Chain A
Amino acid sequence: DIQMTQSPSSLSTSVGDRVTITCRPSQSISSYLNWYQQIPGKAPKLLIYAASTLQSGVPSRFSGSGSGTYFTLTISSLQPEDFATYFCQQSYTSPYTFGQGTKLEIK
């Protein structure tokens, strides 16, 4: 199985901050990397697929980059509704593993 390691596990941030979350697969996955946002008590929501393609309807302050074994999710200016948990997931090969999550908390 491909292990997905996210960092940090949690981050205390403020509205307006620029935030970057990293995701490192245990082996190369080309650009087969998706990002999801989960608000407490809700189902995950797709933000970015294929490492850098923004899903329709997702605000442009979200962006993704990377390939191989290093990926990032960046939120350019945090909004109150962005305080949530973010998961990366590889779609390169089965089993389609997720990272452990990064929780953004209000400072």
Chain B
Amino acid sequence: QITLKESGPTLVRPTQTLTLTCTFSGFSLSTSGVGVAWIRQPPGKALEWLALIYWDDDKRYSPSLKRRLTITKDTSKNQVVLTMTNMDPVDTGTYYCAHIYTAYEEHHFFDPWGQGTLVTVSS
């Protein structure tokens, strides 16, 4: 059974750096085709894909946030870390990590997701 859980601060001050950790079990990030993605959701709004990292350390970022994001993995600890610099109140929302499964013909999808962690940016 695959599980993921996000952890990190619930309150961040504007201009600070947010560091979120996704701790997972049930899979290894050294297995071909496997990855972890980060997605966020402002309160009452749509989902926004942020970044992902694959087993081979291939990393992709949302172009609109690329300058502020860094994603890394620690295979030995079964963790993926996302950092976001220069936080702003508009970054308030629930942050999810999700397991990436790659099926046939490179179809990939996010399943399952962690429970999410609510991050509020406020002074």
Q: List the A side residues contacting B62 at CB < 8 Å.
A: 95
B61–chain A nearest beta-carbon distance, Å = 8
Report the contact-size class of chain B (Cβ under 8 Å from the partner). 20 to 34
Q: List the A side residues contacting B103 at CB < 8 Å.
A: 49-50, 53
Q: Which of B63, B96, B110, B113 contacts A95 (CB 8 A)?
A: B63
Report the contact-size class of chain A (Cβ under 8 Å from the partner). 20 to 34
The 9 closest A-B pairs by CB, nearest first: A46-B111, A43-B113, A49-B109, A98-B47, A50-B107, A94-B60, A96-B49, A100-B46, A34-B109
From residue 71 to 87 of chain B, which have CB atoms closer than 8 A to chain A?
none
In the bound complex, CA of A46 to CA of B104 (Å)? 17
Besides the known contacts A44-B110, A46-B110, 16 further A-B residue pairs in the complex with CB atoms under 8 A apart: A36-B47, A43-B114, A43-B115, A43-B116, A45-B113, A49-B109, A50-B104, A53-B107, A89-B47, A89-B49, A91-B108, A91-B109, A95-B63, A98-B48, A98-B49, A101-B47
- Contact A32 B47, beta carbon cutoff 8 Å: no
In the bound complex, CA of A35 to CA of B18 (Å)? 29
Q: List the A side residues contacting B112 at CB < 8 Å.
A: 43, 45-46
In the bound complex, CA of A96 to CA of B107 (Å)? 12
Q: List the B side residues contacting A1 at CB < 8 Å.
A: 63
A9–chain B nearest beta-carbon distance, Å = 10
Q: Does A71 contact B (CB under 8 A)?
A: no
From residue 48 to 81 of chain A, which have CB atoms closer than 8 A to chain B?
49-50, 53, 55
- Contact A99 B113, beta carbon cutoff 8 Å: no
Q: List the B side residues contacting A31 at CB < 8 Å.
A: 107
